[in-house]
Every structure is written in structure tokens, then in C-alpha cells.
């Protein structure tokens, strides 16, 4: 999540009118950035570092807000969909703050999704350097052997390169005459590559039938039912940030030991 955003979008989000109205205010010279008039529409500014004034009122920086949502299947993580499909933001009844999804889940996946306007938290949870663990319940069709689990623990080669160790354990197995064997596993990954878990199993010829994220770091869904969300308190947000920093320290220590 970038710190610089288009000025008219920030003003609209801050309650100064529609985007068109805010563009007009900029052209009329009603907007100042760090004490200087700005008349160019489309200019980008950093609301966390710059003072923005419109029609005599300062734009207040957004209050830090982080939510955890239990995302249902069939819901998109985008802000808008051209085809009019439902998105996670349609579920946030009563929330007016502009939020970003952290580590998206594809439409057919479900479970724990974080949404925030905290740029630091978003970076800590999405940048590969920090490698915060994400845990999933995964149902796959096919046989998962101990040998396969061991191969996954050594990392799996995908288009972007080899993943960090993938920790997986079989929770239970199911077998039917019509569908053959299916397995339910608990899987923990760290990178957060696009559709990483699905691609890992596909690499071994196994199709994921159901995928649910149950935990990010130490944060879990708790009693949230599908479609429900709650606001994280400060201690929970700080806990996620500490987990990211601790992951970096572990990686640096491991590299030092290898050398």
C-alpha cells in the first residue's frame, strides 16, 4: 500500500465532496499542500507526512483501523467489480473508512482476512522479508503420503522460485467409492505468493476442493461466523507487528548460522 495518493481522492474520502467536486476545488485554488496552493488535478500527496488544507479546513489523517473478517466463499477481495459481483467491502456494514485487504484470498477461498488503513502493518504482513506464517485448513482430492509432506517441508518450486518450508499435517482422511480418497490438512506457509497453497498442491497433481485461512501469526478467527468482522484492538495490531519483526530476526539468525 503506497503512502502517496491522488489529492482529489483523499479529499473525497475526507468528506469534502464527490471526486468531481474535489477536482473543482483544486482548480479553483481552494486546496493547499504544506501551505502552498495546488491547482493541478491528479497530483499525488502523502497524507501522513504532508498537511493538506481545503476550503479553510485541514484534512485529518484517517484513524488507524484494522478489521478481521471471516470471508465467505464466492466473495471478491477487490474494492469494486465491473460485473457487479459482491466484494468483502459490501460486508463491512457501518464502516466508512477506506481500507485495504491484506493478503487477498481468491473468490473460492474463505476464512481470515485482514483489512486495514495502517500502511506499516500492511507492509509488514505482505512483504516477503517478514514472512509472517499463515495457516490454512485445506481439503484436497487424492492421496497425501508422508513422503510428499516431507518434500513440501523442503520447499516447493513454483514459477517465482522455491518456497520456504511448507509445514503440513494430515488431520483426517476420507474415502468413497465415487470420489476416491480425500484428505484434510493443516498447512502453514510464509511467503503469501499469489494462490500459493493451491499451486503447491497442484504441483503434485492434487486438486484443492476447499481452502480456509484460519490463522495469521497468532491471530485466529475465534467465534466469528461467516461474513462477520470485528475491530482489532491495539494490542492485537502490535502483536502482528512484533510477529513480523520476530520473523525477520529468525531469518537473519538462520542465515548467520549457515555462514
Known catalytic residues? 106
Dihedral sign computed on CA atoms, order 42, 48, 53, 57: positive
The per-residue b/e assignment along 50-71, b for 16 or more CB within 10 angstroms, e otherwise, is: eebbbeeeebeebeebbbbbbb
- Angle among Cα 73, 81, 105 to the nearest 5 degrees reads 35
Cα separation, 197 vs 166, in Å, equals 9
* Burial classification of residue 203, based on how many CB atoms lie within 10 Å of its CB (0-12 exposed, 13-18 middle, 19 or more buried): middle
The per-residue b/e assignment along 3-32, b for 16 or more CB within 10 angstroms, e otherwise, is: eeebbbebbbbbebbeeeebbebbeeebbe
Do the strands 207-216 and 44-45 form a parallel or antiparallel pair, or are they unpaired? unpaired
Amino acid at each position: 500500500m503506497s503512502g502517496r495518493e491522488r489529492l482529489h481522492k483523499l479529499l473525497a474520502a475526507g468528506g469534502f465532496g464527490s471526486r468531481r467536486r474535489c477536482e473543482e476545488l483544486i482548480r479553483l485554488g481552494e486546496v493547499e499542500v504544506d501551505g502552498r496552493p495546488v491547482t493541478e488535478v491528479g497530483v499525488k500527496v502523502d497524507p501522513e507526512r504532508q498537511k493538506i488544507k481545503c476550503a479553510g479546513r485541514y484534512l485529518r489523517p484517517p484513524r488507524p483501523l484494522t478489521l478481521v473478517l471471516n470471508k465467505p466463499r464466492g466473495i471478491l477481495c477487490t474494492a469494486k467489480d465491473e460485473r457487479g459481483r459482491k466484494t468483502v467491502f459490501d460486508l463491512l456494514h457501518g464502516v466508512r473508512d477506506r481500507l485495504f485487504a491484506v493478503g487477498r484470498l481468491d473468490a473460492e477461498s474463505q476464512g481470515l482476512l485482514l483489512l486495514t488503513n495502517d500502511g506499516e502493518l500492511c507492509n509488514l504482513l505482505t512483504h516477503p522479508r517478514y514472512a509472517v506464517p499463515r495457516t490454512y485448513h485445506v481439503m484436497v482430492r487424492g492421496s497425501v503420503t508422508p513422503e510428499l509432506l516431507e518434500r513440501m517441508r523442503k520447499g516447493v518450486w513454483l514459477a517465482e522460485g522455491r518456497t520456504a518450508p511448507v509445514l503440513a499435517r494430515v488431520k483426517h482422511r476420507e474415502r468413497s467409492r465415487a470420489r476416491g480418497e480425500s484428505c484434510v490438512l493443516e498447512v502453514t506457509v510464509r511467503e503469501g505468493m499469489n494462490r500459493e497453497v493451491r499451486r503447491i498442491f497442484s504441483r503434485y497433481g492434487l486438486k484443492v476442493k476447499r481452502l480456509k485461512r484460519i490463522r495469521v501469526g497468532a491471530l485466529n478467527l475465534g467465534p466469528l461466523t461467516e461474513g462477520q468482522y470485528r475491530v482489532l484492538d491495539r494490542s492485537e495490531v502490535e502483536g502482528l507487528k512484533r510477529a513480523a519483526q520476530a520473523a525477520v530476526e529468525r531469518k537473519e539468525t538462520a542465515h548467520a548460522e549457515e555462514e
